[in-house]
Structure 1
Amino acid sequence: MNATTVQVPAGAGPEADPRAVSRAVRRRSLALLRSLLRPVARPVWGTVALVVGAQLAAVAGPALVAYGIDHALPALRDGNGAPLTAVAGTYLVVAVLGGFLAAATVRASARASQAILLDLRRRVFRHTQRLSLEFHERYTSGRIISRQTSDLDAVRELLDGGVTTLAAGALSMTFTAVSLAVLDWRSGLVLLVAVVPGVLLSRWFQRRSQAQYRTNRTAAARTIVRFVETMTGIRAVQAFRREPQVQAAYDELAEEYRRSSAGSIRLNGWFDSGLVLIGNVTLAGVLLAGGLRALDGDLAVGVLVAAVLYARRFFAPLQQIAMFYNAFQSATAALEKVADLLAEEPSVPDPAHPVRLPAARAEVRFDGVEFGYGDGPAVLHRLDLHVPSGQTVALVGATGAGKSTIAKLLVRFYDVRTGAVTIDGIDVRDVDPVDLRRAVVMVTQEAYLFSGSVAANIALGRPGATRGEVEAAARAVGVHDLVASLPDGYDTEVDKRGVRLSAGQRQLVSFARAFLADPALLVLDEATSSLDVPGEVLVQEGLRTLLADRTAVVIAHRLSTVMGADRVLVVEDGRVVEDGSPADLVATGGRFADLHADWQRSLDRA
């Protein structure tokens, strides 16, 4: 259930009212928080009851001390020790009970907070996976990692102890003030007067800490993003000897983070010092006023001792609340960022009434398709295209001509602006997503391998496949001998991004994955670009097996791959400018004939 559907007001760009945007962000964060608390409402209320009990037990101590001094000790002097025994026993029971309730509060709070965090982590991961490719191409991986790490850690710090600290502190101050007023209203009045500067100081701290901790979260996120992006692109950094420049950029962000953290520490220092000063002055005031009255016999000594204990106890929670403000402001800023992420809507939504495609023949049509990325200019212009079932079509053309865009529309990574892309006469926007992913498989030049065994990476195409089916897929595309030669065969672990395998070997594994998936429509987007000459010779036979008896759209710069296609489309500026079989296009002259001539000359030179 996505409870964060509150959207920023329309037109909330740079020209929008900042206050309106801030209110919308706050509403979105509160909606997320309510949805997280709802499933754990009962444990939360149980924790509240434990906090109340613990604070009642704690606040009873000074009152028992007052009774013991003013009544139990005089009774003991008169030979009656029962009151003192009763007071001591009660004090011991209350202390043990308070400790037990405090421990139970910590356990109950931890259980509730971990349940909330588990729910939130799952939501962030599930929602991020559901978002369209357009989101992932503009939202850097470092920012996503920051949402899952530092931002959720900030929320964790608040939930693990911050909320119970606030509740315990507020109840402690309330119960302390009431108890002191019952014992001696004049001492309570001194305490009430001292509350005014404490509230003013807290309000001053709240206003400044809010902005400070938003700055902290932003600085932390930017530092994480820079680190992740640098480590992800470390090959390029080292290849171009950019270490000094990258280090300088990271140092600048780290210094910004340090300055922001130092500002938070200074702010906390002023607040803590102010609280200590107010507390000490209040304690001195209660002791002075009460002491003078005690000397005159107007105030019992036990009540004076209790008043001093209560006054000392009253301002201690404010320091804890100061730490809560730290966690609260940090978590608020983090929760807003997480809520913003969860409020992102897929640009390619699931169909409202999905149409099943159980046995696709993969007849493809582009009917008047126009498309552009985001609000940018059109990349495809009124494209009309028909690919009969079982035909292999190759797309060639210069970089940026629109070939990969056609492939992304086929697998519905994006939706068209106008027109329609259909499979077997059904608009891909209406096809059941499960059936679409089963019928259409795309192999890209990246050939991403996940951590795990080679067999597990091949079985990604069909998770329920047996080991025999996995090996049969590998044999079909010519990668079995390679896998068998690995230290543990199909059980060999590949590191992150498959760094134990060469680029060409990873591509062969991705072919086996696609073959095992057995799609009706196969899309190859520069899937042979990472192969060397021996690897290309090896993979051609595998490609013939992979492309047989299915519709295929192949994007390639290597004409060795293109020449085996049934049909070639030359794409230029988002339009098909040549269409025909490879032999016919070579014979009639034109752009493809020029590409073929260049390829032949390169073979002759080789």
Structure 2
Amino acid sequence: MSHHRPGPGAGVPPGEKSANFGASLRRLLRAMAPERVRLVAVLVLAVVAVGLQVLGPTLLGRATDIVFNGVVGRMLPEGASLEQAVANLRAAGEDQVAQMVSGMENVVPGQGIDFGALGRMALLVLAVYVGSALFLWVQGRMLAGIVQRTAFQLRRDVQAKIDRLPLRELDSRARGDVLSRVTNDIDNVSQTLQQTLSQVVTSIVTVVGVLVMMFVLSWQLALIALVTVPVSAWATATIAKRAQPHFVAQWTSTGDLGGKVEEAFTGHELVTAFNAQDSVREGFDEDNERLFRATFRSQFISGTIMPMMGFVGNLNYVLVAVVGGLRVASGDLSLGSVQAFIQYSRQFTQPLAQLASMANLVQSGVASAERIFDIMDAPEQSADPVPGQRPAQVRGAVRLEDVAFSYDPARPLITRLDLDARPGQTVAVVGPTGAGKTTLVNLLMRFYEIDSGRILIDGVDTRDMTRQDLREPIGMVLQDTWLFEGTIAENIAFGRDGATEEDVHRAAEAASVDRFVQSLPDGYDTVIDEEGGGVSAGEKQLITIARAFLAEPQLLILDEATSSVDTRTEMLVQQAMTRLRSGRTSFVIAHRLSTIRDADVILVMEHGDIVEQGTHDELLEADGAYARLYRSQFAAPVLAEE
């Protein structure tokens, strides 16, 4: 098979192109649009929960005032009014204490702590914090459902998109990288949303609520607390901008490494057979090193945000404590108000620090989202016609008229291809590697779209048919076998929905599968994995042939279907094929010319064109390209023996 396409590694080098952070983030948030009602409910719950949390320090400040007022009141002479007590302090030269006492409310000279009021205030604080925790728990439960449903839908959308991608697009991407995008990147987006969305909502609401309470308590202290916000915002934005390209490189490198691992695992036997472990390990180490560097840089750079925010927060805490203490001493604020304000200053800087610390998570999640959106934005295969045409009766007449196709426009492969296969004929396609044999089959199946010309099935242009109507009457067996994890019976039954056990056994007998299945301990219930573990390469091929037989197609396409079958099994399959080809049009691609001697028509392809066609005997007599191929396979060994 000659695909003449760019290799899997084609594309932009990791980290060379910076990410479009803002647009990708907005698009990711739009993906949550179906959950907008629940998101509003989450926002309301967050507002209520944070509102209760914000109310807590004020209530605790009042409790502190009750205690402090009781302590100060016990020190003042009983029976005197507050004004008299202040005057006595001034007369005794205690001007600073008098100033502080004059600013205190609810102080009764001679009266100690009001434990009744203190107890009621403590119960109220407890109720407020319990209520806040309950609302946060409900919010977290709802948010988990929102995020997981979004990730669920995202996986479905990506899978549906992959089903709509043309084979050309999938062939241009590394398989491991595609798998990494569908699994690792979606998981990373899900974790990012789960870990950050709740924190973002609660942090923003907390900042707004705390800021309001700070201005209510003291606008002067509130302005002091706000001085550090622009510094924090500027530093966070600068650090995040530097870290984002490294997050893009991190997840791109993750995909590259996944591709290397997938190739190494699937080709482990060949790697071992050719003693190529060292070279494979070197390639793995290079990708692993690149991933390490990108991850280290992204995490280190973004990790500096939290220490920076901590430093700014501590600086703010010191300023508030010093200025607040001076205002208490001057009688402008009560001790409880300053205590509440200090708590608010902590509550104010903490969500800002949390928002900053989440920057690396958000950047990582958006970088993964960009890789997912890259697949979602890939060009899709052309839409099926509505309504699609279909032959009144599928008889198997196939006609190609002046077909042209190329994988790369700069390197034409098929220029002007004409072919006429009558119903029931066996058409063999032979030729050297890269001649375009498998390409011909891909065009028949519309895995690739032709550049010009027409392909007709029973007189209907395949482009006027839906892909389902086109492929439904076609059975196909590829050189590369594909089995899924399940029993042998389930793998065969994959060929037709609703196949009975009797149908499976009949197809297995026709494809000579029954011959080796009977020797297995569990028979048709033998479980094999996706790599066909437990059965030989030839037996895997027979299972895929049985699957195609079960489909009872009107057209058969066999692309090197007997390449992994031993000589005796090949004879059995050929006999079964002869019976099953009766009344069906068959296209057989083969390098082993012994398998297509009885074909009705043999097409010889070179450089994308049919250079000869005829029966086996006719082509040998013509002494052309087919004769040269035949002699290269059969005459050479005879000469070697002589």
TM-score class, shorter-chain normalisation, is over 0.9
Q: Is the 8 A contact 2:309 2:356 kept in 1?
A: no
The answer to which structure, 1 or 2, has the higher relative contact order (CA under 8 A, 6+ apart) is: 2
Q: Distance in 1 between matches of 2:339 and 2:637?
A: 100
User: In the alignment, what sits opposite 1:52?
Assistant: 47
Q: Distance in 1 between matches of 2:304 and 2:481?
A: 55
Is residue 104 from structure 1 mapped to residue 138 from structure 2 by the alignment?
A: yes
User: In the alignment, what sits opposite 1:592?
Assistant: 626
Shift of 1:416: 0.6
The CA deviation string for residues 486-512 of structure 1, in whole angstroms up to 9 with x for no partner, is 221111111222132211111111111
Residues 26 and 338 (structure 1 numbering): CA distance in 2 closer, same or farther, change over 3 Å? farther
Q: Is the 8 A contact 1:390 1:550 kept in 2?
A: yes
More off after superposition, 588-597 vs 513-522: 588-597
Q: Distance in 2 between matches of 1:260 and 1:585?
A: 60
Shift of 1:467: 0.6
The residue correspondences of 1:370-409 to structure 2 (distance < 5 A) are 370-409=404-443
User: In the alignment, what sits opposite 1:62?
Assistant: 57
User: In the alignment, what sits opposite 1:8?
Assistant: none
Residues 385 and 376 (structure 1 numbering): CA distance in 2 closer, same or farther, change over 3 Å? same
Q: Is the 8 A contact 1:294 1:304 kept in 2?
A: yes
* RMSD of Structure 2 on Structure 1 (CA): 2.3
Shift of 1:60: 0.8
- The residue matched to 1:461 in structure 2 has which SS? coil
Is residue 40 from structure 1 mapped to residue 35 from structure 2 by the alignment?
A: yes
- The residue matched to 1:530 in structure 2 has which SS? coil
- The residue matched to 2:358 in structure 1 has which SS? helix
User: In the alignment, what sits opposite 2:508?
Assistant: 474
Q: Distance in 1 between matches of 2:135 and 2:44?
A: 10
Q: Which amino acid aligns with 2:477?
A: V
Is residue 279 from structure 1 mapped to residue 313 from structure 2 by the alignment?
A: yes
Q: Which amino acid aligns with 1:304?
A: V
Q: Distance in 2 between matches of 1:327 and 1:269?
A: 10
Is residue 294 from structure 1 mapped to residue 314 from structure 2 by the alignment?
A: no
The residue correspondences of 1:42-441 to structure 2 (distance < 5 A) are 42-71=37-66, 74=70, 77=111, 81-357=115-391, 359-441=393-475
Q: Distance in 2 between matches of 1:376 and 1:549?
A: 41
- The residue matched to 2:305 in structure 1 has which SS? helix
Residues 391 and 33 (structure 1 numbering): CA distance in 2 closer, same or farther, change over 3 Å? farther
- The residue matched to 2:463 in structure 1 has which SS? coil
Q: Is the 8 A contact 2:428 2:601 kept in 1?
A: yes
Q: Distance in 2 between matches of 1:599 and 1:192?
A: 86
Give me the TM-score of the superposition, normalised by structure 2.
0.87
Q: Is the 8 A contact 2:246 2:294 kept in 1?
A: yes
Shift of 1:556: 0.6
Aligned with residue 520 of structure 2, among 486, 493, 496: 486
Q: Distance in 2 between matches of 1:416 and 1:425?
A: 17
User: In the alignment, what sits opposite 2:574?
Assistant: 540
Shift of 1:89: 2.1
- The residue matched to 1:297 in structure 2 has which SS? coil
Residues 42 and 357 (structure 1 numbering): CA distance in 2 closer, same or farther, change over 3 Å? farther
Is residue 576 from structure 1 mapped to residue 610 from structure 2 by the alignment?
A: yes
Residues 324 and 480 (structure 1 numbering): CA distance in 2 closer, same or farther, change over 3 Å? same
Q: Distance in 2 between matches of 1:535 and 1:348?
A: 41
Shift of 1:430: 1.5
The CA deviation string for residues 445-503 of structure 1, in whole angstroms up to 9 with x for no partner, is 11211111111111111021001001011112222121222221111111222132211
Q: Distance in 1 between matches of 2:556 and 2:288?
A: 46
Q: Which amino acid aligns with 2:143?
A: S
Is residue 556 from structure 1 mapped to residue 551 from structure 2 by the alignment?
A: no
Q: Which amino acid aligns with 1:231?
A: F
Shift of 1:136: 2.2
Q: Distance in 2 between matches of 1:566 and 1:133?
A: 31
Aligned with residue 457 of structure 1, among 483, 491, 495: 491
Q: Distance in 2 between matches of 1:472 and 1:452?
A: 19
Q: Distance in 2 between matches of 1:254 and 1:107?
A: 37
Shift of 1:414: 0.7
Unaligned runs of 5+ in 2: 1-10, 71-105
Q: Is the 8 A contact 2:483 2:532 kept in 1?
A: yes
Q: Which amino acid aligns with 1:38?
A: A
Q: Distance in 2 between matches of 1:425 and 1:28?
A: 47
- The residue matched to 2:627 in structure 1 has which SS? helix
User: In the alignment, what sits opposite 1:3?
Assistant: none
Q: Distance in 2 between matches of 1:395 and 1:64?
A: 87
More off after superposition, 192-201 vs 554-563: 192-201
Q: Distance in 2 between matches of 1:274 and 1:129?
A: 47
More off after superposition, 363-372 vs 321-330: 321-330
Q: Which amino acid aligns with 1:122?
A: R
Q: Which amino acid aligns with 1:152?
A: I
Residues 41 and 292 (structure 1 numbering): CA distance in 2 closer, same or farther, change over 3 Å? same
Q: Distance in 2 between matches of 1:30 and 1:304?
A: 41
Q: Is the 8 A contact 1:452 1:494 kept in 2?
A: yes
More off after superposition, 206-215 vs 389-398: 206-215
Q: Is the 8 A contact 1:357 1:436 kept in 2?
A: no
Shift of 1:205: 2.2
- The residue matched to 1:362 in structure 2 has which SS? coil
Shift of 1:121: 1.0
More off after superposition, 272-281 vs 108-117: 272-281
- Please identify the structure whose Cα radius of gyration is greater: 2
User: In the alignment, what sits opposite 2:533?
Assistant: 499
User: In the alignment, what sits opposite 1:7?
Assistant: none
User: In the alignment, what sits opposite 1:516?
Assistant: 550
Q: Distance in 2 between matches of 1:26 and 1:240?
A: 48
Shift of 1:161: 2.0
Shift of 1:392: 0.7
Q: Which amino acid aligns with 2:298?
A: S
The CA deviation string for residues 359-396 of structure 1, in whole angstroms up to 9 with x for no partner, is 31111010110000143422112111111111111111
Q: Figure out how many residues of one structure are paired with residues of the other and give that number.
A: 588
Q: Distance in 1 between matches of 2:437 and 2:230?
A: 70
The CA deviation string for residues 145-198 of structure 1, in whole angstroms up to 9 with x for no partner, is 111222112201111121111111121122111111101111111111122222
Q: Is the 8 A contact 2:24 2:366 kept in 1?
A: no
Q: Is the 8 A contact 2:495 2:547 kept in 1?
A: yes
Q: Distance in 1 between matches of 2:637 and 2:145?
A: 68
- The residue matched to 2:531 in structure 1 has which SS? helix
Residues 151 and 164 (structure 1 numbering): CA distance in 2 closer, same or farther, change over 3 Å? same
The CA deviation string for residues 313-349 of structure 1, in whole angstroms up to 9 with x for no partner, is 2111123213321111011111111011011123454
